[in-house]
Structures are given as C-alpha cells and as structure tokens.
Structure 1
Amino acid sequence: MTLMTSVSSSLAVLVVDDEAPARARLRDLLADIAAEVPNAVVGEAANGVLALKLVAEHAVDVVLADIRMPDMDGIELARHLGGMTQPPAVIFVTAYENHAVQAFELNAIDYLVKPVRAQRLATALQKVRQQRLPPPLPVLASLQEGARTHLSCHERGRLLLVPVADILYLKADLKYVVARTASREYLLDESLTHLEQEFSARFIRLHRSVLAAKLAIAGFEKCATEEAEAQWQALFHGISERVPVSRRQWPVVRSYARQSGAGGQGRAIA
C-alpha cells in the first residue's frame, strides 16, 4: 500500500490491483493521458481492505479497481465505498468480458477490460468528471459472488471494517444491527434479515433479533429467568455474555448443537 501527494486541479486516482505489473501499467496510462484528462495517482493498494484505509486517509475522486482480488475484491470494495457520505467514483478493471460487465454498463457503472487502452481510460475518466455517480449498491450486491468478507461501520466520521470472521453474533437494535466481536461492539446500518440471507452458511438464528456465528458458540445452558421459567441460553467463545434462545428456534438450534457438538463442556442439550 503506497500513498502519494495529489494535485488539487487533477482527478485524484487510487489504483487497486493485486498484481504490481497491472498497477504499473495503469500508472503509465494515466500519465500518458494526463494532458487530455488531468489526473494524479494519489495511492496504490493490492486489495480492497488496503484501498479503504487509503480512502480514509486521503481525498480520492476515482478508484480504478480490479474485480478479482484476495481478501476483498473490487465489488465488495465498491459496496463499502458506496456507503460513504461522499463516495469516490469507481471504475472497474477486469480481464473477463462477461455478463457482469454488461450489467455494469447497463447500470452506468464504467469498466475497463484488460489490457486497458489509453483512450478507453480517458473516456472513463471523462465520465467521472461529468457524472461523479457512485455505483448503485443493489446492483453491486446482486453481482457479488458469495458473501462479503467485511461489514462497514461508520463511527465518528470514520469508516471501520469489521471482519465477518471475527463476529460472534449480530443483534437487531432499532433500525441498526449490533455486531459483537470478542473485543467490542460495532453499530451497522444493515438489515438483520438481509444479513441472515447473505451469511446463512455462517450464522444461525437464536431468536427473532439475534444471529449467532455457528463456530463461535461454545455451548448451551438452561437458566432460570426472573419469572423462574427455565430458558436455554447460548454461550460464546471469548466473552462472558449469554444470549437467550427462543422457544421457536430451540428445535433448530438443538439440532445444530447435536450435529456440531456445540453443547459440549458438560452442558446438556436434550
């Protein structure tokens, strides 16, 4: 990840690609068309996670993002950028001329097919000058292959990334969702229902307002409530908090516990 000085009268460009030669080629092309479309490369990143860190540190007008990258691909990067108050424009770079590329074009999301040509790049940057439109989030969600690797949290003017692998449970809280990790809570502007659909393989519903990460569940214990009515509660690795399991969801949760062995450590799940 590198950061460079921008030129205020130019388009500030962030180049994101996991391959160094591809980033170098884009830098050279941007320099070639600088007289036609003034621009300055203000940073480079090898994946979406590093790119978001740069965007948080520096003003960026346009992101040239490869689609297929490790850790976080270009589609997920664009989804996180789209949630910002003033998101940069995103131009996708891809080696694959397929149905996704056609969808980008139909929805006014520009794209460049590798090997990128100088005039095509200039045309794309001119579009940015004229429109500055962020990619439509619903379109990006439909095009992404598989679930996201991170969720976004906007906190005190900052964009924080929460690795999905670190989340122990997700809890609906009014119009937001609280993501609990072993270290802290994050407030997400997400729908619990949509998160359940997207991450169905990773999370299981404990009750109508809580999804628990299956691998984070340490076991289940039956406890008496204030009304002296016994209720099953889920225990998690790394935290002391317990989350109640609703009567409605208990048969499903119990079945999972029996299959996975999550009811271990001497805790009955009968």
Structure 2
Amino acid sequence: MFTIALCDDNLKENEKLSGLIENYCESHPGIVSGFQSFSSPTELLNVVENKMGFDVYLLDILMPDLTGIEVAQRLRAKSQESFIVFLTFSEDFALEAFRVGALQYLVKPIEKEELFAVLDRALTLAERRAPKTILINTVQGK
C-alpha cells in the first residue's frame, strides 16, 4: 500500500492539489492506502516524527518557517526510501531540489496529467523496491 502527503501553505493550491490527489486515489483502489494534506511544514514534520512517514511527499518550496528544501533535508535524514516531488511557481530551486534526491520538480499550475504521471512513476519505483515473496501452503501451515 502506498501513502501520500501534500504540504502547501497556499490554501487555494492545497485544495486544488488535494482534489487531484483524491481523484488519483479513487482511480487506484487498493493501491493508495492513505493521503494526508498539510498547510504547514511544521505540522507535516510533527506527524512524520511522532507517528509515521509517507511513501510520497509533495512539497511546496516557498513556505513560511521552513522551505520545502529544508523539509526535504529533514525527511532525508529520517529515510532515503521516500519519494519527494517539489511543487512551486519558481524554477529557481531546481538544483537544490535534486541535491536532496527529488523524484520530480513540477512548476505550478500543476495539471492532472503531469501529477498523475509522477505518482504513477513513484508507484512503479516503489513496486520495484518491494521485496518479492511467495506464500506456500504446507502441511505445517503457510
């Protein structure tokens, strides 16, 4: 199962992107197990540090308190396995984004097709990483 977190402080952008992500979740039943939206980087980091991480992080870059790049650095210190996608109005931070191992850098306004394509790519890469197992029934059990 796949989990997605969105962090964008612009409420209008957050609502638009949340709608697109929810649409993606509905079109991938049984694959995406959770989606959570955050309007502050501090809120996102508190959830990650206290509860759980996510498979994909969609991060705005220009936010108050912490930039998306700083959030990504903290996430990377915790786990190298997650996928980070930056969403921004500016092309100025692309090199910094890829220094923290970004999967993609999308310039707003984000279209449904490009968002779905990057989520599909993350899902495919996650499936390749997943350990392969086979369950076998025996007399002693599984």
* In structure 1, distance between residues paired with 2:22 and 2:38: 18
Moved over 4 A (4+): 102-108
Residue 48 (structure 1) shift: 2.0
With CA pairs under 8 Å and 6+ residues apart, which has the higher RCO, 1 or 2? 2
Structure 2 regions of 5+ residues with no counterpart?
127-142
Match 1:12 to one of 3, 15, 29: 3
- Determine if contact 1:64/1:93 at 8 Å carries over to the other structure: yes
Match of residue 80 from structure 1: 74
Match 1:101 to one of 70, 94, 104: 94
The structure where helix makes up a greater share of residues is 2
Match of residue 44 from structure 2: 51
The structure where strand makes up a greater share of residues is 1
- Determine if contact 1:15/1:41 at 8 Å carries over to the other structure: no
Match of residue 58 from structure 2: 64
1:27–1:41 CA distance, 2 compared to 1 (3 A): farther
Residue 19 (structure 1) shift: 1.2
1:55–1:87 CA distance, 2 compared to 1 (3 A): farther
For residue 88 of structure 1, what is the amino acid of its counterpart? S
Residue 36 (structure 1) shift: 4.9
Mark the structure with the bigger radius of gyration: 1
Residue 105 (structure 1) shift: 6.5
- Determine if contact 1:36/1:122 at 8 Å carries over to the other structure: no
User: Would you say how many aligned residue pairs link Structure 1 and Structure 2?
Assistant: 122
- Determine if contact 2:8/2:59 at 8 Å carries over to the other structure: yes
1:24–1:39 CA distance, 2 compared to 1 (3 A): farther
For residue 51 of structure 1, what is the amino acid of its counterpart? L
Q: CA RMSD in A?
A: 2.6
Q: Give the structure-2-normalised TM-score.
A: 0.72
**Percent identity among equivalent residues?**
25
- Determine if contact 1:43/1:54 at 8 Å carries over to the other structure: no
Match of residue 28 from structure 1: 19
* In structure 2, distance between residues paired with 1:125 and 1:85: 19
Residue 130 (structure 1) shift: 2.9
Residue 131 (structure 1) shift: 3.0
